[in-house]
């Protein structure tokens, strides 16, 4: 499973696995143990996790949610010390610890609560997504294009 396979639906709590597209929308399945199916129409706001990022004040302007989740897992390994019901100041301190240059003007407490909820959901149902990516070693050894021959050294 990849971050591009998981979505959030506005007005619906939790995260959903994208099962398959339909003519009028997409079929989703909840990530929790209930595995409820939902047909989301094109009129509903669906956000794929791979497309979500957190605003920052650095040159790039944002940080992908995937990187944020991996950083949280690396720093806290599942024991966050905060919950979505924690005080707003605690939540802001938590996100500042993870992303020191986050933009407090554009990242709301409700956004931080979603990050915590989604992290917990992924930790329970798709922990492999939170692991550090193995460093991509060397690009695959360059292969000659089809139809070309390698030159032999003389």
User: What are the b/e assignments for 125-150, b being 16+ CB within 10 Å?
Assistant: bbeebbeeeeeeeeeeeeeeeeeeee
Task: Go through the domains of the chain in sequence order and give each one's CATH number.
Answer: 3-49 (2.30.30.730), 52-130 (1.10.10.1650)
User: pLDDT at position 37, please?
Assistant: 85
Both tokens of residue 112? 């931080």
Give this prediction's pTM: 0.77
From start to end of the chain, where are the E strands?
Answer: 6-9, 16-21, 25-30, 37-41, 46-48, 53-55, 62-64
pLDDT tens track, the chain, 154 positions: 788 888 888 888 888 888 888 888 888 888 877 787 888 887 888 888 888 899 998 888 889 988 888 888 888 876 778 888 889 899 999 889 888 998 889 989 998 899 888 888 888 888 787 777 655 333 334 445 555 455 555 5
Q: Report the DSSP beta bridge partners of residue 38.
A: 28
């Amino acid at each position: 499973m990849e971050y591009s396979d998981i979505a959030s639906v506005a007005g619906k709590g939790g995260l959903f696995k994208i099962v398959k597209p339909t003519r009028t929308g997409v079929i989703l399945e909840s990530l929790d143990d209930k595995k409820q199916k939902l047909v989301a129409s094109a009129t509903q706001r669906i956000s794929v996790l791979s497309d979500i990022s957190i605003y920052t004040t650095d040159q790039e302007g944002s940080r992908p949610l995937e990187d944020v989740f991996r950083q949280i897992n690396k720093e806290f390994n599942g024991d966050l010390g905060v919950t979505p019901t924690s005080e707003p100041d605690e939540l802001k301190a938590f996100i500042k610890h993870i992303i020191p240059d986050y933009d407090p003007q554009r990242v709301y407490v409700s956004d931080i609560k979603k990050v915590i909820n989604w992290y917990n959901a992924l930790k329970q149902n798709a922990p492999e997504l939170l692991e550090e990516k193995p460093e991509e070693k060397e690009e695959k050894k360059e292969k000659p294009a089809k139809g070309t021959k390698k030159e032999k050294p003389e």
